[in-house]
Amino acid sequence: MSEVRLNKFLAQQGIASRRKADKLIASGEIRVNGKVVDSLGVKVNPQKDYVKVGGKLIGKTKGNEKVYVLLHKPKNVMVTKKDPEGRTTVFDLLPEIPKNMFTVGRLDFETEGLLLLTNDGDLANELTHPKFGVPRLYEAKVKGVPDENTLTKLSKGMFINGERLRPSKVEVKRILDKNSWLEITVTEGKNRQIRDMCAYAGHPVSKLKRTAYGNILLGKLPVGASRRMAYEEIAELRKYLRAIGRKRASRLT
């Protein structure tokens, strides 16, 4: 096997997405042939070089099975491997999955809904990297009923904590007395983004659920349940991501 960039090798091994792999490299947590590597762009030969992460030798890519799991994350569950406060994590709900699995993005502690887990770092990178802008669909129960001006403000994007959020799609789907349900589509995965958006607009979120990520739908999967995604689903997902890539390339030309 020829040389590959170190971040790509780590992604292929299911250690992390390429972006997170770059952070691991920059932090000095990666050793190649016994030497700390902290420079981005380094290449390795998976058949010859010894790569360690946190002192653990990482195996060769050949023959590694790629696994894709869809979980209906319950609320009040952490999206981490371990929690120092002893709270339940998504990995506690999935004891049978391979140890090198990781989550594709995050959902905050109070949010439920669709969460993807995989050991395919390349696919995870395409799904999460801001440049691809893969849409995420949420249902949000908020206090009050946003008027047209507020919906426009939410949709156009806003500055929160000095950071500009991308435009999103926001629609009122149901009105329940003094509350309402919104359908919100965003194309970036900033921490607590929807909660911050709605609170800033004067309509704080009381319930939040992710129902779709790209063309993957949560459907009727029960809360706390999970399933392995079929090969055909992943093939369709890759086709969908290629279409997004073509659209992005056409906008840049």
Please count the other Cβ atoms lying within 10 Å of the Cβ belonging to residue 248.
12
**Residue 251 tokens, joined:** 């906008």
Q: Report which of 69, 163, 156, 148 is spatially closest to residue 114, judged by C-alpha positions.
A: 69
User: Is residue 108 annotated as a catalytic residue, yes or no?
Assistant: yes
Residue of 22, 49, 83, 108 with catalytic role: 108
Spatial separation of the C-alpha atoms in residues 20 and 15, rounded to whole Å:
9
Length of the chain: 253
SS3 221: coil
Using DSSP, how many helices (H) and how many strands (E) does the chain show? 6, 17
| Angstrom distance (rounded) from CA 244 to CA 224 | 30
Name the residues annotated as catalytic: 108
